Amino acid sequence: MLRLYNSLTRRKQVFEPDDGETARVYSCGPTVYDFAHIGNLRTFTFNDILCRYLSFKGFEVKQVMNITDVDDKTIAGAAAQGLSLAEYTEKYTQYFFDDIDALNIRRAWKYPQATQHISQMHEIIQKLLDNGHAYVAEGSVYYDISSFADYGKLSGVQPEELSSSTEFSRLEGDQYEREEAGDFVLWKAAKPGEPSWDSPWGSGRPGWHIECSAMSMAYLGPTLDIHTGAVDLLFPHHENEIAQSEGATGQQFCRFWVHGEHLIVEGQKMSKSLGNFFTLRDLLEGQFLHPTRPAGAGLLAPGHPPPTAHRPLPPATQLHYGGAPAERADRRAAQYLH
Ligand SMILES: [Zn+2]
């Protein structure tokens, strides 16, 4: 019997695929704008262990992991390097596959790219418009969160006075904080110098959240068995995926939400924005990983804390970082990974 902690119900539940045979698993994949840091890779390792265990339990596993190759970050990164979006994202997509191969992560069934699924995104956006969950404003399309009574059921975020008469501010960015919950963008009107695609609402590009609704349902159908991702995606990304998918189909989007905890560095999550990160390359080049020892086991070493905790790992398992960038792969990191 396999029990999984389900972030949706906030308790452990016995897992069985809906059809008893095939586990349909969707995992939020990399945004290919930079090297993954080992906190990201810990999440991919956790996905891998989960899928391998499902196979071991005798289920067929269909795992889909998206490649986000168009969003705010990839567009900014390509512009900064003077490359086309495709040239830029291909480079980092290859690095992603190099990293997961180095970690002996089993390949997913499919790795769909967002830029190859624009028409599926259009279909969902059109359904949301038809169902009264979205509206057009100045060439962009927004999700009206007041139209979806279940908004907040995953994250517990309850926007003030969520009712059909409430107007929320419109959010342009893909990422925002819980306190800023508002109408998020499904389709962004084209801006000069940015890549764009034709659509029924004018040329533009997709918002980040719609990408995962489109690619998961395209390959796995309207209801997933398991959706995985790092815990920082729970809000707004996963909350918005539910609103989009259920608003379009009227069916439950996902039965089990399983989140991986952050890798903690001195009390803070490892992140690009904080600059407190190691890449796999830092560790391999510093020869801090034993060539025959699976690095993935090291990444999982702290164990998986109770997902309800949403708190730092106990001090004994923390990865400490105190040096200058050149000293990142220091002895403490080596201890942690061995
Ligand atoms: Zn996603």
Distance between Cα 1 and ligand 1 center (Å): 28
pLDDT band at 183 (very low <50, low <70, confident <90, very high): very high
**Ligand 1 center from residue 330 Cα (angstroms):** 32
Distance 216 CA to ligand 1 centre (A): 9
Q: The whole model's pTM is what? A: 0.84
Question: Smallest Cα–Cα separation from 258: which of 36, 63, 113, 1?
Answer: 63
How many CB atoms lie under 10 A from the CB of residue 92? 19
From ligand 1's centre to the CA of 114, what distance in Å? 11
Residue 201 CA to ligand 1 centre (angstroms): 24
Q: What is the pLDDT of residues 83-131, one digit of tens each?
A: 999 999 999 999 999 999 999 999 999 999 999 999 999 999 999 999 9
* 333 band by pLDDT with thresholds 50, 70 and 90: very low
- CA–centroid distance, residue 2 to ligand 1 (Å): 25
Residue 108 alpha carbon to ligand 1 centre in Å:
15
The more confidently predicted of residues 143 and 278 is: 143
Residue 174 has pLDDT above 80, yes or no: yes
Separation of CA 209 and ligand 1 centre (Å): 7
Q: How confident is the model over 250-261, as pLDDT tens digits?
A: 999 999 999 998
Q: Is the pLDDT at 274 greater than 90, yes or no?
A: no
pLDDT of residue 325: 33
Q: How confident is the model at residue 334 (pLDDT cuts 50, 70, 90)?
A: very low
SS3 labels along 150-176: CCCCCCCCCCCCCCCCCCCCEECCCCC
pLDDT band at 295 (very low <50, low <70, confident <90, very high): low
Confidence of residue 210 (pLDDT cuts 50, 70, 90): very high
H-run or E-run covering 22:
strand 22-27
Angle separating helix axes 208-220 and 118-130, nearest 10 degrees: 100
Q: How far is the CA of 323 from the centre of ligand 1 (A)?
A: 33
Q: What is the mean pLDDT of residues 264-270?
A: 78
38 vs 20, higher pLDDT:
20
Ligand 1 centre to CA of 322 (Å) is 32
Chain-wide mean pLDDT for the chain? 86
| pLDDT confidence of residue 78 | 96
Distance 336 CA to ligand 1 centre (A): 29
Q: Is the pLDDT of residue 82 over 50?
A: yes
Res 10: pLDDT: 96
Map residue 303 onto helix, strand or coil: coil
Distance 300 CA to ligand 1 centre (A): 22
Distance 292 CA to ligand 1 centre (A): 32
For residue 298, what pLDDT is reported? 59
Burial of 136 (C-beta count, 10 Å sphere; 0-12/13-18/19+): middle
159 C-alpha to ligand 1 centroid (Å)? 22
> Residue 321 Cα, ligand 1 centroid: separation in angstroms?
29
- Give me ligand 1 centre to Cα 238, in Å: 7
The Å distance, Cα 31 to ligand 1 centre, comes to 9
Give the DSSP letter of residue 71: S
Structure token digits, residue 187: 């389709």
